[in-house]
A and B are shown apart, each in its own frame.
Chain A
Amino acid sequence: MLAYILKRILATIPVMLVVALTVFSLLFLAPGDPATMIAGDQASAADVERIRQSLGLDQPFLVQFGTWLWQLVHFDLGNSVFTGQPVTKLMAERVGPTVSVMLLTLLLSICTAIPLGVVAAWKSGSWIDRAIMSVSVVGFSVPLFVVGYILAWVFALKLQWLPPQGYTPLSEGVWPWLQRLILPAITLGFVYIVLIARITRASMLEVLQQDYVRTARAKGLGPRKVLFLHALKNGAVPVITVIGIGFAALIGGTVVTETVFTIPGMGRLTVDAILRRDYPVIQGLVLVFSFVYVLVNLAVDLIYSLVDPRIRY
């Protein structure tokens, strides 16, 4: 098992190199130049050139990529072109908010979506099933920011139950932390709930057709027992897969959610960095994202073997 985990982690290195090279060359090709952004509208061409030189932005592609790789080998992600702060520090500031939103979203989504999916499958074809599935398709089709605005308008501006924006760290208390995360988590959960509910329903439908479930039913086991003990356990593999894949969608979704609700998280940092062409920050973030993605998928694979004893490594 341990050997398997190690092997998997080692296998991620080429993936991450691909990611690093892709992103680096993409950015290098992209127009836009941090030196000009720094200098501002009144600056002369000479000012811009001076800034470009002092930041090393006039170096050729391979030299810049090499420098960056060399730093990386020494566990140094470099510094922001703009503020000169270490990228690791910038990321450390942003991890808390993003992880908070994501965990809450995950919790909320799983707790809502799996029961919905199970019920829809159990009552397959009934009006409950149709209602759940229709609503879930609507959830798919509304852009997140519209959902966010509607929620903020209702709960923050009209009812005034929750604040419309901002983030308070957990260290300042559970409720101050939670109250600013509820609306973002619901917004972000919207798509995720849909995704999980749909796959749960589909997977359950398949399992419910299996012989052992029929047998269990025929033996007179109560529907709840059949559903949650037998069927759900056996139908869990695709659900877990989707939760894993959806994790990537979640990172993308945080970009929008963090913007709408002014949460100083990693998604927003990435967009800001891309729009500013703060190359080292983008590089670092993308590397971390891909590492996390790889780890999540590894975790998903390991959970398979726990859920389904037939899968062994």
Chain B
Amino acid sequence: MQPEGSRLSAALTQMRRHPTIPTGATVLIVMVAIAICAPLLGTIDPTATSLARRLREPSAQFLFGTDMLGRDLYSRVLYGARISLLVGFSVAVFSSIGGLFLGLIAGFIKRIDVVVMRIMDGLMSIPSMLLAIALMALTKGSVLNVIVALTVVEIPRVTRLVRSTVLSLREQPYVEAAISAGASTPRIIIRHILPNSLSPLIVQATYICAAAMVTEAVLSFIGAGTPPITPSWGNIMAEGRTLWQLKFYIVLIPAAFLSATVLAVNILGDGLRDALDPRSIY
């Protein structure tokens, strides 16, 4: 095993060699800033309806125009960043934690492994979109509910990843040595397993984050997502799609924001993978 210091510097070198990390990070930071500062950026109440100003074209007063209920799209898109990012980050974090926990248990305790993995196999064999829709039907549509549904959908995939990492690491000579030297399981986990499973996990988490933001939009499209009153990019697109031929910007503006964010997260994930994976050759 390499000493931590040289690893870090190697990672930094990789990072310099890979401009995708700063690019992705910058775009993401801008989006987070937009989300946090939405009230300061000349927005109005994103849920305030006024039918008299229904479906206005973009203008100085309404930068992105208004939607079918007369709500200001500029405000909705900016506030929408909050929902989409919240969904993306929360799902990534919660499913990583859940998957890490289950994966470690499954990787170390044979008896539990069988049960956990059968359940995970079962969950994974239900197409994720359908499982998410079914979960959304469970309680009232809310942002929290979307997060829970998508987390449940992603956990089996993370669990599998962590478990397979654990299993392969356990075969490594230095881990075997530590086990035979009588190191306790928690110690082995903290000392050897965690540091080494972290990099694939982080990479996986960025993809989950990106996928969750897109899935949130798709759930809204089907009518089983965030309640339509909440401004999320998915909702704005789903509600504007009927008029897509006439007022393409209602769909394309939030789509552009969503794509930019997802893109940023994805290339950040790629960059991290390249930088963190020592075997990586590109």
Using a CB–CB distance below 8 Å, which chain A residues touch chain B? 14-19, 22-23, 26-27, 29-32, 124-125, 133, 137-138, 140-146, 149, 153, 157, 205-206, 209, 248-249, 251-253, 255-256, 259, 267, 270-271, 274-275, 277, 282, 286, 289-290, 293-294
Please report the C-alpha to C-alpha distance between residue A23 and residue B282 in the assembled complex, in whole angstroms: 43
Determine the chain B residues whose CB is within 8 A of the CB of A138 once the complex forms: 259, 263
Q: Smallest CB-CB separation from A130: which chain B residue?
A: B20
With A141-B261, A289-B130 given, name 11 new contacts (CB 8 A).
A14-B118, A18-B118, A26-B138, A125-B282, A138-B259, A142-B255, A145-B218, A205-B282, A275-B223, A293-B124, A293-B125
Which single member of B121, B122, B222, B251 contacts A271 (CB below 8 Å)? Answer: B222
Please report the C-alpha to C-alpha distance between residue A31 and residue B234 in the assembled complex, in whole angstroms: 24
Which single member of A17, A27, A143, A289 contacts B234 (CB below 8 Å)? Answer: A143
Question: B245 and A157: CB pair below 8 A?
Answer: yes
Question: B266 and A141: CB pair below 8 A?
Answer: yes
A-B contact pairs, 25 of them (CB 8 A): A14-B118, A15-B122, A17-B122, A23-B126, A30-B138, A31-B139, A138-B259, A140-B210, A141-B262, A142-B259, A143-B214, A143-B221, A145-B221, A149-B241, A149-B251, A205-B282, A209-B281, A251-B130, A252-B128, A255-B130, A256-B221, A271-B222, A289-B126, A289-B130, A290-B122
Q: Is B31 an interface residue (CB 8 A)?
A: no
Question: B129 and A29: CB pair below 8 A?
Answer: no
- What 0/1 pattern do residues 129 to 156 of B give for CB contact below 8 A with A? 1100111011100000000000000000
Interface residues on B, range: 35 or more
Please report the C-alpha to C-alpha distance between residue A18 and residue B266 in the assembled complex, in whole angstroms: 33
Q: Is B68 an interface residue (CB 8 A)?
A: no
Q: Is chain B's interface secondary structure helix, strand, loop, or mixed overall?
A: helix
A141 with B130, Cβ < 8 A, contacts A26-B138, A146-B251 known: no
Question: A256 and B222: CB pair below 8 A?
Answer: yes
Determine the chain A residues whose CB is within 8 A of the CB of B214 once the complex forms: 140-143
Which single member of B129, B238, B245, B252 contacts A253 (CB below 8 Å)? Answer: B129
Q: Is chain A's interface secondary structure helix, strand, loop, or mixed overall?
A: helix
Please report the C-alpha to C-alpha distance between residue A149 and residue B255 in the assembled complex, in whole angstroms: 12
A137 with B282, Cβ < 8 A, contacts A145-B221, A270-B130, A275-B137 known: no
Q: Smallest CB-CB separation from A198: which chain B residue?
A: B270
Determine the chain A residues whose CB is within 8 A of the CB of B267 once the complex forms: 137
Question: A274 and B128: CB pair below 8 A?
Answer: no
Please report the C-alpha to C-alpha distance between residue A143 and residue B220 in the assembled complex, in whole angstroms: 11
CB distance from B228 to the nearest CB of A (A): 15
The 7 A-B pairs at the shortest CB distance, nearest first, are namely: A252-B129, A18-B122, A141-B262, A290-B125, A251-B127, A293-B125, A252-B127
Question: B134 and A30: CB pair below 8 A?
Answer: yes
Determine the chain B residues whose CB is within 8 A of the CB of A153 once the complex forms: 244-245
Please report the C-alpha to C-alpha distance between residue A252 and residue B134 in the assembled complex, in whole angstroms: 12
Q: Is B258 an interface residue (CB 8 A)?
A: yes
A22 with B122, Cβ < 8 A, contacts A153-B245, A252-B128, A274-B133 known: yes
Please report the C-alpha to C-alpha distance between residue A290 and residue B224 in the assembled complex, in whole angstroms: 22
Question: A143 and B130: CB pair below 8 A?
Answer: no
Q: Smallest CB-CB separation from B238: which chain A residue?
A: A145
Which single member of B138, B224, B262 contacts A275 (CB below 8 Å)? Answer: B224
Question: A282 and B134: CB pair below 8 A?
Answer: yes
Determine the chain B residues whose CB is within 8 A of the CB of A14 once the complex forms: 118
Determine the chain B residues whose CB is within 8 A of the CB of A294 once the complex forms: 125
Q: Is B178 an interface residue (CB 8 A)?
A: no
Please report the C-alpha to C-alpha distance between residue A255 and residue B129 in the assembled complex, in whole angstroms: 8
Determine the chain A residues whose CB is within 8 A of the CB of B138 once the complex forms: 26, 29-31
Question: B130 and A286: CB pair below 8 A?
Answer: yes
Please report the C-alpha to C-alpha distance between residue A274 and residue B134 in the assembled complex, in whole angstroms: 6
Question: B281 and A289: CB pair below 8 A?
Answer: no
A16 with B127, Cβ < 8 A, contacts A143-B234, A271-B133 known: no
Question: B119 and A141: CB pair below 8 A?
Answer: no
Q: Is B217 an interface residue (CB 8 A)?
A: yes
Question: A248 and B139: CB pair below 8 A?
Answer: no
